[in-house]
Amino acid sequence: MTEQKKKLAGSGCCPACRQKATPRSEADLRRLQNRLRRMVGQINGISKMLEENRYCGDILIQVAAVESAIQSFGYLVLQDHLRTCVVEEIQKGDTAILDEAMELIRKLK
């Protein structure tokens, strides 16, 4: 049994229902929330473009912009995760976190 599974077994919680928290500074939270708000604005803009029956090419350009923004947002969160959570777990001797990190990277691509 891996160290991570032992921890989960001891907590009475399965991997699918475990809750983790990452403390973030006010500045980091503000930065991430601002990016999310911009993406929501872009998505709302796409919705308005559909309502106005705008040209498909214009809509697709905005879809590509949202996809790029989401990808960038994901990479920012991943970068923070690697620099904080992953480093902390490795320093504690829990190298199983690397498997989780690799899976997250695969999902993000």
Residue numbers of the domain that contains 94:
26-108
pLDDT score recorded for residue 5: 43
- Asked if residue 84 is part of any domain, the answer here is yes
Name the average pLDDT for the chain: 85
Output b/e per residue, 60-73; b: 16+ Cβ within 10 A: eeeeeebeebeeee
- Asked if residue 12 is part of any domain, the answer here is no
- Asked if residue 65 is part of any domain, the answer here is yes
The 10s digit of each residue's pLDDT in 11-64 is 433 344 355 777 888 998 999 999 999 999 999 999 999 999 999 999 999 999
- Asked if residue 7 is part of any domain, the answer here is no
Determine contact, residues 39/67, Cβ cutoff 8 Å.
no
- Asked if residue 96 is part of any domain, the answer here is yes
Number of independent structural domains in the chain:
1
- Asked if residue 42 is part of any domain, the answer here is yes
In degrees and rounded to multiples of 5, residue 21 shows phi and psi of -135, 145
Q: CATH number of the domain that 99 lies in? A: 1.20.58.1000
- Asked if residue 72 is part of any domain, the answer here is yes
Task: Note the pTM of the prediction, 2 decimals.
Answer: 0.73
Helical H segments across 12-96, by residue range: 26-51, 56-81, 87-91
- Asked if residue 14 is part of any domain, the answer here is no
The 10s digit of each residue's pLDDT in 61-109 is 999 999 999 999 999 999 999 999 999 999 999 999 999 999 999 999 8
